[in-house]
Amino acid sequence: MNAFRKIIIVLSLLTFLLPLMACSALFPPPKPKATVAVTPARVELAFPGILKVPIVFTGTGWKPKEMVVVDMVLPPGVQMQGVKPGEDVGIAYGEADEAGSFKGEVPATAKLNTLFRVGWTPILSIDPKTLNPIPPGIYTIKASGTDSEMVVTTTLEFVKPVPKQ
């Protein structure tokens, strides 16, 4: 009777364990989700001071060696030369390392062309008379992986310059 009892216990365990093992093989745990963050989260729209402030995007959970493109979503009513209504505008990019972490900084040209919508002279210098900063507010930032097609968002706030005293 003792042997019969052992067989029943083993069969009972197998009855419960085999389906659990099969489910874990068929349904693996979800992949880690990619992230994106920005430092600083709040930027003053002051020219030329903004050119000295690094705006840096970082993230984790991306595919190794994947290019991550960072776009700013233009809200309705905010127009930008060369950008159709409803389109986003690229402001930074970075390549993920072997661990899936990336870092990308907004270059000065993106700050001038996107944040200040500046015009250029025929000799390719900025025309200070054409400075037209984007409206202050909270803007959605979208990071997209070129290989994984993962898309994550964060926000970046632009504020009016503090008046000089």
Residue 51 lies in a domain: yes
Maximum CA pair distance of the chain? 98
Predicted pLDDT at 116 = 94
Residue 76 lies in a domain: yes
Are 58 and 97 in contact by the 8 Å Cβ rule? The answer is no
Predicted pLDDT at 84 = 92
Query: How many helical (H) and strand (E) elements, i.e. helices and strands, does the chain have?
Result: 2, 10
Question: For residue 119, what is the domain's CATH number?
Answer: 2.60.40.10
The CA distance from 91 to 89, in Å, is 6
Predicted pLDDT at 20 = 56
Predicted pLDDT at 146 = 96
**Number of domains into which the chain is organized:** 1
Predicted pLDDT at 44 = 96
The CA distance from 34 to 100, in Å, is 9
Predicted pLDDT at 164 = 78
How would you write the pLDDT of the chain (165 residues) with one tens digit per residue? 576 666 666 556 556 655 655 555 566 555 559 999 999 999 999 999 999 999 999 999 999 999 999 999 999 999 998 899 999 999 999 999 999 999 999 999 999 999 999 988 888 888 888 899 999 999 999 999 999 999 999 999 999 998 877
Residue 126 lies in a domain: yes
The CA distance from 121 to 105, in Å, is 26
For 59, the token pair is 């993230």
Predicted pLDDT at 94 = 97
> What are the residues facing 103 on neighbouring strands?
58
Residue 144 lies in a domain: yes
Predicted pLDDT at 18 = 52
Residue 19 lies in a domain: no
Residue 58 lies in a domain: yes
Residue 44 lies in a domain: yes
Predicted pLDDT at 120 = 84
Residue 45 lies in a domain: yes
- Domain extent at residue 82: 37-159
